[in-house]
Structures are given as C-alpha cells and as structure tokens.
A and B are shown apart, each in its own frame.
Chain A
Amino acid sequence: MTTAIETVPPVDVKGLTRVEERRVTGPAVLSNLVLGGIALLFALPLLWLVLASVDKHASWSIAIPHFTLSNFGSSLADGRGSSLVASLELAAIATVVGTVTGTLAAYAFSRRHIPWKGPALLFVLLLSAVPINVIIIPVYQIFSQAGWLSLIPTAIFLGITGLPFEIWMIKNFIDAVPTELEEAARVENVGTLRIIGRIVVPLAAPGIGAAAIYGFVNAWGAFLIPLVLISNTAQQPAAITVYSFISAAEVNYGGIAAFSILYSLPVLGLYLVMGRWFRGGFVLGGALK
C-alpha cells in the first residue's frame, strides 16, 4: 500500500457485507425513510429532465408527459447536431494528447530513476487542482496573438488541462504491473517504446483506459474554455449550444431537455464502461488510487 490517496478503493455498493442480523427496529425504519427521502429529493431535478424530454407540451414543471420523441429530432436542428460532432472532435483530440503523453511520462515516473521524483509527483498532483477556468485570460491572450482561436488548438489545450491527473492515474496503475516481463524484454534488448507498447500498455490497459475516459469527459464537459477560445461559432461544441438554446427568445423546453440528455449520455455511458472494467467498482476508485 504505497500509493497516495488510498481512501477510495473501488466501491461495490452491492457487495457491502452485512455483519449483523437484519431486524425491524425504529432506527432502521427511520434511516431507510431518511435515505429514501434524500434520494427522492436528489432525483427531482433529473425527473424533470427525463419527463420533459418526451413531453409534447413540456414546460419547466414536472408533469405527466404527452408522449413524443419529436423533441429529440427538433433538438438536433439548426446545426445543433453538428455541435455534438464538434464536441466529439474536441474530446477525441484532447484524449489522445493527454493519454499518449501521459502514458510515456507515467511510465518514466513508475519505472525510472528520476531525481526529486517524490516532490515532482506531488507537484503534478498539485497541478491537477489548478482551476483551469481562472487562467482563461492569459490563455486567450496567447491564443489570439498566435491566431489559434479555433477547434484544434483548443482541443490540445483541453488535453493538457487533464494531463497532470492522467499522469498520476496511469502511474499508479503501471506501479501495479509486475516488472518481470519488462526485465526479460530488456535483457533481449527490446527498445523502451516497444516495451511500453507491447507489454506495459496491454497490462495497464484498464488504468490507461480510465485515464483516457477522464480526459474525454474533462474535454466534453468543458464550457468556458471553448466558449472563449473557439471564435468560429460553427466549430463550437455542444456545451455551448445548450447555452444558446436556453437563452433563445422562444424557449423550447422539450428540446432543451432532449438535447441535454443526448449531450450527457456519452459521459454516463463511458462511466458505466469504466465501472464494468473495475467490476462494479467506480472510476474514481481507480482514478484517485
């Protein structure tokens, strides 16, 4: 147990073991009621999202829907469909930038002797806490002077914003991979890049995949950075489309709900995929490890 934030092992909610016998007692009933109440309150904002998305006469209120799927179609009109494609491009480029450079650096941190390795790693962890939104002004100034106010430079920037945390994540997964295979390969004079590509990456695949998903979600969810850094409205991603959708003169309630669902589903889907890799455990279990 040498890794840092060890507080979050993958949590299997189903697997919580019950030591004591189940008895119907006052406190048990009360705690179930309170928990159910909190869950219900927490579910209310989501309930509106789901009901309004399939309601022909949607409003801000929670109501039994007049069922329709047309909101999903209309939510993609006026170029909003292509903003989802822009989101995909943005997130894909950011993921590749973060994961490839992150894997190389994480391998070096895990396996090689590096002077001041401990402080360097803590510095990387500290960088992952930097709220990137607050340096938008200098970044805007750099981008505008260099003529970079477009999708690809912005995607690369978003990739870098996720990089410190990805290095940290991948390093902890590579640490858990046994070194015997690599040592054997080194004796055979196999090059470092081939060792990483053929041995380390396949063995640490769930961790690298989790880091890639983190990078993707980080870029997909970004709002302020693409808002400021992508000057061409045709290239702007779905996060910003939601914003213009909600501030339109005539509010299309059902369309907003439907589009928000379409925009959120990839993120929820990726988290579920990651959950399966860790056998029901959760992402950040691996992530914060």
Chain B
Amino acid sequence: MTSDALTAAPPQGRRLDKRRFEWNTSLLLLPAGILIAAVFVYAVGYSFYIGLTNLSLLGPTAVVYHFTGAANLSRLVHDTFFLHSLWVTFLFVFGSGVVGATVIGLALALLMQKALAPIRLAAAAVAMIAFMLPPVTIAVVWYAASVPQGTFARLFGNPNSDPLFSAPLLFVSLANMWSLVGLAMLLFVAALRNVPSDITEAARLERAGAIRRFTSVTLPLLKPTIVTSALLMTLLSLANFTIVWLMTGGGPGTATSILPVYSYQQGFQFYHLAYGALLGNVMLILTAIFGVGYVKMARGKRQKGGSS
C-alpha cells in the first residue's frame, strides 16, 4: 500500500521508510540469481531438451545427436520396465515416507510425552542420529544389518538367510524410513507442544478415554502437521538414490529399481543418456506436483499465523 505512494522525494537524501526498488538490490541478487538460473533453469531446461533427442553416452550419437520429437515419449509409454519402476517408486515412497516415517514419527512423539526421561532421551538421540547420518553411512549400516550373518538374519533365527535378497524392497524402505523418522518426530513433538492443554483437560473432565481424546482432540489438531510431514517425507524419499543404489543397485533383478535408479541405469549403464534424462524429467514433474502442495501448506500456515 505504502510502497507505491507517489510522494515527492525530499530534495536532499532519500526517505528510508519509502519502499522502492534500489539499483543495488539487483547486484545483491545477481550472484545467487546467476547460479540458481544456471542449474535450476538452464540445466533443468536442457534436461527436458535432451529427453527428446537421441543423445547417448558412447558411439556416434554421443557427439552428433538431434531432436527426435516424440520418439522417446512413445518408448516411455510402451516401456513396461518404466511402469514397473513407477510402481516400485510408489511403494517405496508411500510405504517408507508417507506411512512409515510419519506414523512412527508421530508414535514416537506421542510416546515421548509420557515416557521417563532416560528412555525419552535415548529414543530421541537414536532417531536424531539416524536422521543426521550421511546417506552413504545409512546404506552401509543397513546393508550390514540385512545381509546373511547380519543382525536381521540372526534376529529372524536363521543366520544364513538373506533378508535383503528375499525382501529387498522392504529393507531399502526400512532403511529410508529409519533415516526420516527423526525429522517427522521433531515436527510432531513441536506440534504436540502447541496442542493447548486446556482442551485435552476439558475432554478428560468430560470423561473421554485416552483413545477418544486422541482421535477427537489431538488428531484433528495435528492434521496440518500430518499433511506437512507426509508431503515432506514424499519429497525426501523421491529424492533418494544413494541408499537404494548402495544397498541393492536396483536389484535383485528390478525389484528395487525406483525411478532415480532406473534413470541412472539407462543413462550410465545402458548409455541411453536421452532416455535416462526423460526418466529424470518424469521425476522432476512428480516432485513439482508434491512440491507445490508442500509450498501451499507452508504458505497457508504463514497466512494463518500472520492474521492471528
């Protein structure tokens, strides 16, 4: 409102309260702007272009390649491995991110409310360390735990069994979930602190049981956090390549070939850079959809917070 008011500037010096675009603002934005444009506009745009060419990693089309129109797209819609990969990606993201991490994160946050200090601190510390570790280390510890002679094989009673081979998608999903629960837990611990105690107290006075208090009072109040967490976990799981690639390489067979893995294999193992890029573009579009949802949630909260 005030920013574009056409008040005459005082002859000497500028008014500091008047909001107008200053020339050196663009200089401040320029370095970050150029870098971001180079990667997120140029490289992403280039990715969409490459996806519609016949570029390959080796051979003549590695040097001289050209636009092939919808050829790669028609390959994509007829590619049964792509459909399979999409399905595996869905199971991985939904199972480990949306359901696994969010539900266990919420459960941990709820249990921590009533827990004894040492148990609460131990649970928080373990979940946070798992969240902070670099992806490569997460892959190493989960690989070690799920191969023959590893922790899970022994826990299930047969040290020579190979859990990672017999249930590969389950174990890479568990590894991913394990690495995300800490973040979900943080979100829910914070949200639970904002649940006003007088509401739960009122429900208690109305003789509502613990389960009823949870489903009718706490859960509705936590709904925005649950949606935020599910979206954030979806985005973080979609971005995952390292854990799956290091634990299984997408195998055995194609059992764990989530889209980022399939894209990498097409590009760098089968030398189909163009088709790999196209698969990456599918990921970009999926991410954009969930990302816009996430940003909308964030903005909704800001507006609500601003008005109160």
Contact = CB atoms under 8 A, between A and B. Distances in A.
Interface of A: 1-9, 11, 13-14, 16, 19, 27-28, 31-32, 34-36, 38-39, 42-49, 52, 59-62, 97, 100-102, 104-105, 107-108, 112-115, 122, 124-127, 129-142, 157, 159-161, 163-164, 167, 183, 186-187, 192, 217, 220-221, 223-224, 228, 239, 242-243, 246, 253, 256-257, 260, 263-264, 267-268, 271, 282, 284-285
Nearest to B152: A44
Q: Is the interface of B mostly helix, strand, loop or mixed?
A: helix
B150 interface: yes
Interface centre among B107, B136, B290 (most CB of A within 10 A): B136
Interface residues of B, number: 113
Nearest to A272: B132
Nearest to B185: A11
A141 B25 contact: no
Interface string B183-197: 100110111010001
B302 A133 contact: no
B287 A129 contact: yes
Contacts of A246: 140, 143, 246
A127 B40 contact: yes
Given A112-B28, A263-B137, A160 B38 contact: yes
Contacts of B277: 137-138
A187 B260 CA distance: 53
B199 to A, nearest CB: 13
Contact of B284 (A104, A130, A257, A260): A130
Contact of B186 (A8, A62, A125, A134): A8
A141 B142 contact: no
Contacts of A239: 134, 136
A256 B18 CA distance: 60
Contact of A113 (B21, B154, B276): B21
B115 interface: yes
B92 interface: no
A238 B266 CA distance: 26
A13 B108 contact: no
B82 to A, nearest CB: 14
Given A137-B47, A137-B277, A141-B55, 15 more contacts: A4-B302, A5-B298, A16-B112, A42-B127, A48-B144, A48-B151, A49-B144, A62-B154, A100-B31, A125-B298, A129-B294, A135-B284, A138-B280, A239-B136, A267-B133
A260 B159 contact: no
A134 B261 CA distance: 9
A115 B21 contact: yes
Contacts of A62: 151, 154
A267 to B, nearest CB: 6
Contacts of B126: 39, 42-43, 46
A136 B264 contact: yes
B151 A45 contact: yes
A223 B106 CA distance: 30
Interface of B: 3, 16, 19-22, 24-25, 28-29, 31-33, 35-36, 38-40, 43-44, 46-47, 50, 55, 104, 107-108, 111-117, 119-124, 126-130, 132-137, 140-145, 147-151, 154-155, 159, 178, 181, 183, 186-187, 189-191, 193, 197, 210, 224-225, 228, 235, 238-239, 241-242, 245-246, 259-260, 263-264, 267-268, 273, 276-277, 280-281, 283-284, 287-288, 290-292, 294-295, 298-299, 301-302, 305-306, 308
Given A32-B119, A104-B28, A268-B129, A122 B299 contact: yes
A44 B146 CA distance: 11
A61 B239 CA distance: 30
A26 to B, nearest CB: 11
29 contacts: A4-B301, A5-B301, A7-B190, A35-B111, A36-B119, A38-B108, A39-B122, A39-B126, A44-B151, A60-B149, A61-B154, A113-B22, A114-B25, A122-B295, A125-B295, A131-B287, A132-B239, A135-B47, A137-B277, A157-B39, A160-B35, A163-B32, A228-B268, A242-B136, A253-B144, A260-B137, A267-B133, A271-B132, A284-B183
A124 B270 CA distance: 34
Contacts of B299: 4, 122
A243 to B, nearest CB: 6
Nearest to B134: A221
A30 to B, nearest CB: 9
